[in-house]
Amino acid sequence: MGRSPKFTQETKMEIIQRYLNGERLCQLRQTYGFATSSLRSWLKKYRKKGMAGLEPPRINQSYTKEFKERVVQDYITLGLRESS
């Protein structure tokens, strides 16, 4: 089960439409309480896939055990190099 998004697809679309219609970013941020980077991300997804791009992911990202182990080993190796 995916995590619950802070903003619904409809709310994101409302924010995007208001922004594209010329409403100031600072006013929208104050009204809805989102980060500027969130709006950039929503706009990019909307322009690429339309409303479907604003749908929340259905599942959380998962990684294989091998990938996780490789990341940890890389972190340990890099951490030892930087502390020397």
Domain boundary assignment for the chain: 1-57
- What CATH code is assigned to 1-57? 1.10.10
- Chain centroid to CA 6: 11
Specify the pLDDT at position 4: 65
| 0.75 exceeded by pTM | no
Specify the pLDDT at position 82: 56
| Distance separating alpha carbons of residues 17 and 65, to the nearest angstrom | 42
Specify the pLDDT at position 26: 94
Specify the pLDDT at position 1: 47
Instruction: Please name which of 58, 71, 69, 53 lies closest in space to residue 13, comparing C-alpha atoms.
Output: 53
pLDDT of the chain along its 84 residues, tens only?
Answer: 456 678 999 999 999 999 999 999 999 999 999 999 999 999 999 999 999 999 887 777 789 999 999 999 988 888 766 554
